[in-house]
Amino acid sequence: MRQDQTTGRSGGRGPAQGIGQGVGEPSPKLGDATHERLRAMILSGELPAGTRLQEKPLAERLGVSRTPVREAIARLSSEGLVSRVAGNAPTVSTVSITEIMEILHVRRLLECEAARQVATVVISPEPFLEMRARVERFLGPTRPDPATHMRLDEDLHGGIARASGSTLLHDMILGLKLKTRMYDKGSIPERFEPGCHEHIAILDAILARDPERAEAAMRTHLENVRAGILGHLSRLF
């Protein structure tokens, strides 16, 4: 099946890049790539909330068969990024302001505990030192693109959750963080530099093995994320 080079069906963003050829049985690698591509399109707003996800147009747009698209939609549904209503095509989930405030409240409870635990246990400092260096580079003269920034943000929060030693805590935090990303989509640029400094404060507290300080730094960060979203909304309405 040829790659669709004609249109980006979401707000004129141009053609989507194909990720494979829809010939024969899809490989697990192709299925993962299709899932990642669709997830990125949702999180960036390229596929906005409420968009109907129809297998055939998406398969043509991505240059794959319908099977990996169907599997990707099922995975996105399990992650909460896609909603299904009986008799209708699946749609990109809508996250309300009430939901995002609840998500941030629960994230604060879970991530403050994760930061405290990581600062308490014996850990290898290298991953956190490397993460700190990545954040510091963001504060240089060249600002990273939104995708690079989001990747570091996910690596940092996910890395802290993983280092806490609880698989359940890690999975819950990443699941909630996905929905936060659906909402902000990098639309609060004034939070970029303060967020970097807050991340450094969290990492410094963990590296200093100071659980109280790590918990407080994470709480400050998530409270500022909440305030940033509310401030952004107040300017829109």
Residue 2 has pLDDT above 50, yes or no: no
Phi, psi of 168 (to 5 degrees): -60, -45
pLDDT at 233: 66
More confidently predicted of 164 and 24: 164
Residue 4 has pLDDT above 90, yes or no: no
CB 125 within 8 A of CB 207: yes
- Give mean pLDDT, residues 63-73: 94
Among 73, 88, 84, residue whose Cα is nearest residue 42: 73
Among 123, 124, 104, 182, residue whose Cα is nearest residue 150: 182
For the record, the structure tokens of 201 come out as: 């404060």
pLDDT at 24: 47
pLDDT at 17: 46
- Give mean pLDDT, residues 174-203: 83
Residue 6 has pLDDT above 60, yes or no: no
Q: Where in the chain do CATH 1.10.10.10 domains reside?
A: 1-94
Q: Which fold has domain 97-236?
A: Four Helix Bundle (Hemerythrin (Met), subunit A) (1.20.120)
Lowest-pLDDT range, 83-92, 154-163, 203-212?
Answer: 83-92
How confident is the model over 81-117, as pLDDT tens digits?
A: 899 887 788 999 887 888 888 999 999 999 999 999 9
More confidently predicted of 186 and 33: 33
Which H or E element spans position 233? helix 211-236
Eight-class DSSP state of 82: E
Q: Which fold has domain 1-94?
A: Arc Repressor Mutant, subunit A (1.10.10)
Residue 165 has pLDDT above 60, yes or no: yes
Which H or E element spans position 92? strand 91-92
CB 32 within 8 A of CB 20: no
pLDDT bucket at 28, cuts 50 / 70 / 90: low
Its pTM stands at 0.72
pLDDT at 186: 52
For the record, the structure tokens of 183 come out as: 């909402």
Residue % of the chain over a pLDDT of 90 = 52
Residue 44 has pLDDT above 80, yes or no: no
pLDDT at 234: 66
Question: How many angstroms separate the CA atoms of 117 and 100, rounded?
Answer: 25
Residue 21 has pLDDT above 70, yes or no: no
CB 107 within 8 A of CB 224: no
Among 195, 218, 194, residue whose Cα is nearest residue 206: 218
Torsion over CA of 207, 223, 181 and 113, rounded to 10 degrees? Answer: 50
Q: Where in the chain do CATH 1.20.120.530 domains reside?
A: 97-236
